């Protein structure tokens, strides 16, 4: 089995399909729980994930808690590591090095953002590439570029798994990714190319963004700008995937979570669309768990050749 390939398939209704990442992620979790139980019976060991959080960013605390709860649901050991916000780079490097050597830990995740005194890139590079369950180490990005097996970035891999789950064809189709970050846009472009899509990556400097977007059979927004994608930017019956998570002011003074897509306006135009929340977010967590299990197989010598 390919480390990132799911056998999950859902039958969508005839029109106006919501790409329900929450439901697909739940199915993946059931599969992963079965795999973990089988691996434990086979080896007497369980996969382990260490999540490092530095400081007290409230959003990070929520995300880390969700990841730890997900680990618990599938039987992955969770090694939480919460460090004070004034932690030095040297102390954090010492911690990462210890986790790299810890045989109980198969995946290491450095929760971003980090406090300003810490160099995010240098610290991500310090993580053992074969424990880099975020798929951000240059070695893993290089494997992705070359089409080789390895740990792949969770959010773009989650997008691909969601499209697979709904049997959305990609070969020969026009895919437009809006956003060029190393977290989502760039790796997702490579994954879509590997699926034989014709890929355009657009961004804040792109001219005629609306016209570029309107050419897409599959349109993926990952820029962090609320409701950027409007109905006139979407080709009728296109597949629309919204990676954005933004806080948007409401008339009552509170905020709502919205994506980069104006969901209410675009949903009637699209053939398939992800909601926010409940679309890509749960898939990201599911792929983190999947990567941790893949890494466990790697370290235990249980990967099939070329998988």
Is 271 annotated to bind a ligand? Reply is no
DSSP one-letter string for 83-122: E-TT--HHHHHHHHHHHHH-TT--EEEEPSPPPTTS-HHH
Is 147 annotated to bind a ligand? Reply is no
The answer to whether residues 280 and 24 touch, using CB atoms and an 8 Å cutoff, is no
The answer to whether residues 134 and 107 touch, using CB atoms and an 8 Å cutoff, is no
Q: How far apart are CA 240 and CA 223, in angstroms?
A: 14
Residue 132 is a catalytic residue: no
Of 35, 95, 128, 134, the catalytic one is: 134
The set of residues, in sequence order, having a beta carbon less than 8 Å from that of 47 and lying 6+ positions away, is 36, 39, 75, 76, 77, 106, 107, 292, 293, 295, 296
Residue 34 is a catalytic residue: no
Cis upstream peptide for 196 (omega within 30°):
no
Of 67, 186, 227, 235, the catalytic one is: 67
Look-up of token digits 């989650």:
158
Q: Half-sphere exposure (CA, 13 Å, Cβ side) for 21?
A: 27
Look-up of token digits 């109905």:
231
Is 78 annotated to bind a ligand? Reply is no
Q: How far is CA 3 from the centre of its chain?
A: 14
The set of residues, in sequence order, having a beta carbon less than 8 Å from that of 197 and lying 6+ positions away, is 170, 171, 172, 173, 174, 175, 218
Is 179 annotated to bind a ligand? Reply is yes
Residue 67 is a catalytic residue: yes
The answer to whether residues 162 and 9 touch, using CB atoms and an 8 Å cutoff, is no
| Binding-site positions | 179-181, 245
User: Which residue positions form the known binding site for NADP(+)?
Assistant: 179-181, 245
Catalytic residues: 67, 111, 134
């Amino acid at each position: 089995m390919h480390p990132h390939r799911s056998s999950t398939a859902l039958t969508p209704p005839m029109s106006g399909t919501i790409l329900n990442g929450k439901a697909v992620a739940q199915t993946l979790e059931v599969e992963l729980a079965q795999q973990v139980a089988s691996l434990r019976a086979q080896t007497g060991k369980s996969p382990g994930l260490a999540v490092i959080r530095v400081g007290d960013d409230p959003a990070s605390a929520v995300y880390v808690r969700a990841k730890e709860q997900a680990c618990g649901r599938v039987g992955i050991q969770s090694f939480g590591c919460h460090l004070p916000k004034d932690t030095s780079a040297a102390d954090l490097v010492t911690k990462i090095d210890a986790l790299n050597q810890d045989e109980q830990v198969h995946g290491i995740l450095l929760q971003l953002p980090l406090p300003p005194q810490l160099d995010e890139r240098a610290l991500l590079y310090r993580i053992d590439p074969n424990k880099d369950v975020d798929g951000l180490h240059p070695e893993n990005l290089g494997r992705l570029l070359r089409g080789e097996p390895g740990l792949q970035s969770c959010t773009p891999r989650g997008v691909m798994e969601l499209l697979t789950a709904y049997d959305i064809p990609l070969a020969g189709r026009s895919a437009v990714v809006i956003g060029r970050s190393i977290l989502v846009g760039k790796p997702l472009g490579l994954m879509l190319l590997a699926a034989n899509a014709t890929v355009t990556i657009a961004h804040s400097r792109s001219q005629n963004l609306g016209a570029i977007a309107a050419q897409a059979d599959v349109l993926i927004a990952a820029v962090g700008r609320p409701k950027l994608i409007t109905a006139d930017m979407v080709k009728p019956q296109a597949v629309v995937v919204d990676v954005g998570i933004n806080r948007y002011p409401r008339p009552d003074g509170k905020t709502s979570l919205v994506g980069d897509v104006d969901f209410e306006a675009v949903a009637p135009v699209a053939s398939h669309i992800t909601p926010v929340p409940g679309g890509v977010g749960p898939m990201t967590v599911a792929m983190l768990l999947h990567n941790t299990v893949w890494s466990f197989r790697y370290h235990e010598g249980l990967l099939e050749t070329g998988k």
